[in-house]
Structure 1
């Protein structure tokens, strides 16, 4: 069955947005997300691909920051700003991401299926690229608080202009790039409330038991188990 071009265009935009936001998590990885005032944790869904769990963030909330971390080992960290300062800096691009989400995922289908006038579509295209360019400018202007080197900020701005649907995920891109201090066990204990921290630890224990069934008493797994037991 041949689908109309307008349907293919909308499906393509949505697919690019979801593809860019989706993650395949290793057994030792946890994603911490933050909304207005609360933190949440997930180790992915039940769907697996080559031993990794698929996690697709909330498509209706493109400006929710996401931090990927591991309970098995911490990344080599470089000097950077405090987390609260960084999260505050994300506000510089949140509004543009919301505008872009509305233009591409709401405005585009409405114009194509309700009012497909060429001038209206041209105006939408101009607005999309103007918003994307504004986001690139904000990334450059706030590169220090967003912990980007000048070359990294320019490269990110160019990538956004090349694919505006990916630019919707700018907040997630920046927060995933930064990550959190320490490993997932420390992050869960520090940022989640008691109930959610307990659920996250139970999930990590399940993943740890799964890993030890395959790899045995490896030193890194034993150390992770000890750290989890200390947080009970």
Structure 2
């Protein structure tokens, strides 16, 4: 890419970042996006792509942890929930790296392109990869707390080093890899505010009633869906 095409380069960086951040959710899945004091519920877009719903997290907040939960999943044991809390606290320590990378890509890179010199652009490139390597080293050192195998860390490193904009999503990717997470029922009662519980209930009513249209009335599947909906309705504030 020539330095005379800065807008094309920035568009490519943004496109790769958003492509890597996007998720396709199954009909029975929702995402909880962790904020400083609460969680935000999303079931993805209303439009379906191959029977799945597109979800795009807030591109300005790559440090936020994501939980991908199914409303039909079984309850998680206490030990798993403890492991999740440990991983969540460890992910907070990676947040400064993601903010630094966000600044490098969307403030530093336009500045380097505006100056238009190869030396400045090379300096930006070296700085960016230095930050990525430092973040990956921290991920490796904290891999046990993050419930990651060495192979999983290697896969994250391969993505981030092969395509630098993918490194912006490391916190999201690690959080989505977690198997030790609270189930949606427990998360709804203990993590969500009353407003978000109402949002979740509205989403589940729509999704579960759609699923009931494809289930035989009186069947085990139908009864399970109705019982699941009743649980969330009874638990609603």
TM-score using structure 1 length: 0.89
Change (3 A) 1:12 1:78: farther
Distance 1:215 1:187 in 2: 27
**Aligned pairs (5 A) from 1:129-148:** 129-148=129-148
Structure 2 unaligned runs (5+)?
A: none
The corresponding residue for 2:106 is 105
Contact 1:30 1:41 in 2 (8 A): yes
Is the aligned partner of 1:15 residue 2:15? Answer: yes
Distance 2:58 2:100 in 1: 17
Give 1:211 shift: 1.3
Change (3 A) 1:180 1:38: farther
Is the aligned partner of 1:222 residue 2:226? Answer: yes
The corresponding residue for 1:87 is 88
The corresponding residue for 1:154 is 154
Is the aligned partner of 1:128 residue 2:132? Answer: no
Change (3 A) 1:130 1:75: farther
TM-score using structure 2 length: 0.87
Q: Give deviations 1:53-93, integer Å, cap 9, x for gaps.
A: 21111111111111100002249889654333222101222
Structure 1 unaligned runs (5+)?
A: none
Distance 2:110 2:77 in 1: 43
The corresponding residue for 1:183 is 183
* SS of match in other structure, 2:93: helix
The corresponding residue for 1:202 is 202
The corresponding residue for 1:119 is 119
The count of residues paired between Structure 1 and Structure 2 equals: 228
Contact 1:136 1:158 in 2 (8 A): no
